[in-house]
Amino acid sequence: MGLTRGSLFTIYFKIAVAVIAFVVVFFTLQRLLVPKYASTAIEGGLIREYYNSPMNHDVIFLGDCEVYANFSPITLWEVYGITSYIRGSPQQLIWHSYYLLEDTLHFANVKPKMVVLNVMAMQYDEPQYEPYNRLTIDGMRLSLIKLRAIRSSRLEGEDYLSYILPFFRYKDHWQSLSSEDFRYFFRNPQVSISGFMIRSDTVPVEFIPDPIRLPDYKFGDKATHYLNKILELTKEHDIELVLVKAPVLWPYWFEQWDEQIIAFANDNDLLYVNFLHHLDDVGLDFTQHTFNAGLHLNVFGAQLLSGYFGGIISENYILPDRREDAGFSAYWEELTKQYKHLISKQLEEIKETGSIHSFLIK
């Protein structure tokens, strides 16, 4: 017995209501349960913030904490008029950097003129730890590039589905929901200035742990493969590639690694700056310019490093000074204001309580 048009309509109507209700509830719960990165692991918010920027930067930094804690785009802007963005996240592996570069080229409104790659991650040839994968990949916009990034980074037990629908990764967060999850339900907190994470406190270096000898110092095949892919991609898009090693004292950067990067840079006619050899030129003092005993620079160390690095790249490459461009300056002036505001707030907190409590821009 066939269904009448009326009863067919009722069935379709019910199905539509059920599907819409499911989608609404599912995505509401997903939004509630995913981490907001407002008070803990705020680095998790770095990657997603790029899409809120104008995406028209001339310089893109790629790398792990050695970029997002050590280079200040505001200094590059203030001193050289260079617009830059740091696409960095904790333990960002070399293939993460490759896919973030692809992602940048895909979504950016203006193609960058230079890519600065920090080479510390070359030491890793395999994905290391699921939470670090998450801190990088979760923030990427959904695209085929993201799917490829997932495929390259997955550890055993990780699946595509939970990257595409993070509900399935964070569903157990219901046990520890806090007011933060509701406060940042409709908007994400802003944790960086153009990808730079501000730390104004100081914890001086007291000792440097001895390096642990490795059985083999040769970079792995996968890391080398993705380094070559980054090179190819920058060539393809006529982008200058600059390799850097940030001036932090540990984890240890071995001489054998440095030699391989020098050889790669020479073979491909690239600029490679190992800032560990320029500590005095930069003016770094590890009793003042680090917030965690030599592991990362604080904002003042980052300003020194960025000032020095800005000089190198503006001398060696043609990068436009955008300070006279009204379209850029309004945006960067606002960023500079936010940057300075947070630094003074943190310094005030240090004065009053001995430590900083504010990490968010807004």
Partner 1 sequence: MLFTSFNFLIFLAVLVALYAITPQRFRWFVLLVGSMTFYGFAGLHFLIYINATIVITYLCTIKIKHLRLLRDAEIEKLNDLGLSQENLKEARRSLRDKTKRKAKGWTTLCLVLIIGILATVKYTDFAIENFNTILRLFNDTQQFSLIGIAVPLGISFYTFQTVGYVIDVYREKAEIVKNPLKLALFTSFFPQVIQGPISRFENLSKTLYSGTQINRHGLARGSQRILWGFFKKLVIADRLWPALAFLATHPEEYQGIYYLFAIALYAVVLYCDFSGGIDIAIGAAELFGVRLPENFNRPFYSRSIQEYWQRWHMTMYSWFRDYVFYPMAASKRMLRFSKASRRVVGNNFAKRLPVHISLIFVWFLTGLWHGATWNFIMWGMANGIVLMISLELTPLYERFNKHFPTLSNEWFYRSIQIFRTFWLMNFIRSFDIYDGVKNTFRMMWSVVANFSLNEFLTFGLSELKLSTEEYISALAGLLIVFFVSFLGRGDIDFRDRLGEIKWPLRYTLTGVVLFMTLVLGAYGHGFDARQFIYNIF
Q: Which of 53, 56, 143, 162 binds partner 1 (CB under 8 A)?
A: 162
Rounded Cα distance between 88 and 95, Å, is 12
- Minimum distance from CB of 332 to partner 1 (Å)? 40
- Judged by CB under 8 A, the stretch of 82-90, 161-169, 243-251, 254-262 that binds partner 1 is 161-169
**Per-residue interface string for the shown chain with partner 1, residues 164-203, x marking contact by CB under 8 A:** ---xxx-xx-xx----------------------------
The reply on whether position 159 binds partner 1 by CB under 8 A is yes
Residues 6+ apart with CB under 8 A from 21: none
Pick out residues in 33-92 that bind partner 1 (CB under 8 A).
Answer: 33
- Judged by CB under 8 A, the stretch of 135-143, 163-171, 240-248, 334-342 that binds partner 1 is 163-171
Could you tell me how many residues make up the chain? Answer: 362
Would you say 142 or 165 has its CB closer to partner 1? 165
Cα–Cα distances in Å, from 32 out to 24, 44, 140, 172? 12, 16, 19, 11
Would you say 171 or 323 has its CB closer to partner 1? 171
**Per-residue interface string for the shown chain with partner 1, residues 197-236, x marking contact by CB under 8 A:** ----------------------------------------
The reply on whether position 31 binds partner 1 by CB under 8 A is no
The reply on whether position 25 binds partner 1 by CB under 8 A is yes
Would you say 142 or 177 has its CB closer to partner 1? 177
Instruction: Answer for the pair 116, 61: CB distance below 8 angstroms, yes or no.
Output: yes
- Minimum distance from CB of 17 to partner 1 (Å)? 7
Rounded Cα distance between 200 and 358, Å, is 10
Q: Which of 2, 6, 157, 327 binds partner 1 (CB under 8 A)?
A: 157
Interface size with partner 1, residues (CB under 8 A): 23
- Minimum distance from CB of 171 to partner 1 (Å)? 5
Tokens of 62: 């790629």
* Residue among 105, 168, 173, 109 nearest 138 (CA): 168
Would you say 109 or 179 has its CB closer to partner 1? 179
Q: Which of 9, 12, 16, 18 binds partner 1 (CB under 8 A)?
A: 18
Tokens of 32: 């509630």
Q: How many helices (H) and strands (E) does the chain have?
A: 15, 5
- Minimum distance from CB of 170 to partner 1 (Å)? 9
- Minimum distance from CB of 172 to partner 1 (Å)? 7
Rounded Cα distance between 98 and 101, Å, is 5
Would you say 13 or 51 has its CB closer to partner 1? 13
- Minimum distance from CB of 47 to partner 1 (Å)? 19
Instruction: Answer for the pair 47, 35: CB distance below 8 angstroms, yes or no.
Output: no
- Minimum distance from CB of 183 to partner 1 (Å)? 21
Q: Residues in the site for partner 1, rule: CB under 8 A?
A: 11, 14, 17-18, 21-22, 25-26, 29, 33, 130, 157-159, 161-162, 167-169, 171-172, 174-175
